[in-house]
Amino acid sequence: MSQGRIVVVEDEPVIRQAIVQMLDLAGYEVLSAEDGEAGLRVAQGPEVDLVLLDLMLPRRDGLSVLEELRKVRPGLPVIILTAKGSEEDVVRGLEGGADDYVVKPFGARELMARIEAVQRRTPARAKAPERLELAGYVVDFERSEIRGPSGAQRISATEGQILARLAASPGQVVSREELLGLLWGHASARAETRTIDMHVAKLRAKLGQDGPRLIQTVRGKGYRLVEG
């Protein structure tokens, strides 16, 4: 029985073939593409469960592919593969709606752990409340968006899970370690802690000028949601 269908969009043949072989051995059905145009087309196909997306691609870059995917498949999990590893690249990818990122070169165990973690938290979106109202904003978990005075903005599965967890305990501090455990299921690492902070920053931005007040940082402890 297949573990799911994963699309690998990677232009380097050796890396692409290695990932495809690894996923095939793990029981996944794998589709692959060597450029952005083909990758976007394949990723929009039926019953795709997750996309591994390189940033530096011919014909259409990864961020452009991600932007288009978020329009047509807002809830589709996407993990970025980046060779640069700079914080700017990571931030741009996360701002574009990616759920996670892996920096090249990476090991098979790391990549599989990331894939399994994203898959674990994706079904959990169904357990989130259908909607949440915050200071004139409506968070629609079913549609994966935040609606406010300036219109609707997409939220990724990761952003939705963070917000749902904070909303489950309004006014109470939720530690970064708990959020990391919820999202990735393994011990905190420096890069992952920064990822949590980046996702929170994105959520605040989508909540406009009230964002920092609604999602507060408690120094040395974590975050809390203030609904009023």
DSSP 196-221: HHHHHHHHHHHTGGGHHHHEEEETTT
pLDDT tens-place string over residues 59-89:
999 999 999 998 888 778 899 998 766 677 7
pLDDT tens-place string over residues 35-65:
999 999 999 887 899 999 999 899 999 999 9
Q: Is the domain of 10 the same as that of 82?
A: yes
Q: Is the domain of 42 the same as that of 141?
A: no
Q: Is the domain of 20 the same as that of 45?
A: yes
Q: Is the domain of 73 the same as that of 9?
A: yes
- Of 75, 103, 121, the last residue of a domain is 121
Q: Is the domain of 52 the same as that of 86?
A: yes
CATH of the domain at 94: 3.40.50.2300
Reading the block at residue 158, the tokens are: 């990761």
Report if pTM > 0.75: no
pLDDT tens-place string over residues 101-117:
888 888 898 899 889 88
Please report the pLDDT score of residue 123 as a whole number.
53
Q: Is the domain of 157 the same as that of 212?
A: yes
Q: Is the domain of 23 the same as that of 108?
A: yes
Structural domain range at position 133: 125-225
Q: Is the domain of 9 the same as that of 100?
A: yes
Percentage of the chain exceeding pLDDT 70: 89
Mean pLDDT of the chain: 84
In the chain, helix, strand, coil percent, each to 5?
Answer: 45, 20, 30
Please report the pLDDT score of residue 5 as a whole number.
92
- Of 92, 121, 150, the last residue of a domain is 121
Binning pLDDT at 50, 70 and 90, where does residue 121 land?
low
DSSP category for residue 60: S
Q: Is the domain of 150 the same as that of 209?
A: yes
Please report the pLDDT score of residue 84 as a whole number.
64
Q: Is the domain of 156 the same as that of 49?
A: no
Q: Which residues pair with 33 in a beta bridge?
A: 9
CATH of the domain at 216: 1.10.10.10
- Of 121, 148, 168, the last residue of a domain is 121
pLDDT tens-place string over residues 192-224:
677 788 889 989 999 888 888 999 999 888 999
Alpha helices (H) in the chain, listed in sequence order: 13-25, 36-43, 62-72, 87-95, 108-121, 157-168, 176-183, 190-206, 211-214
The count of domains in the chain is: 2
Q: For residues 119 and 4, is the Cβ–Cβ distance under 8 A?
A: yes
Binning pLDDT at 50, 70 and 90, where does residue 14 land?
very high
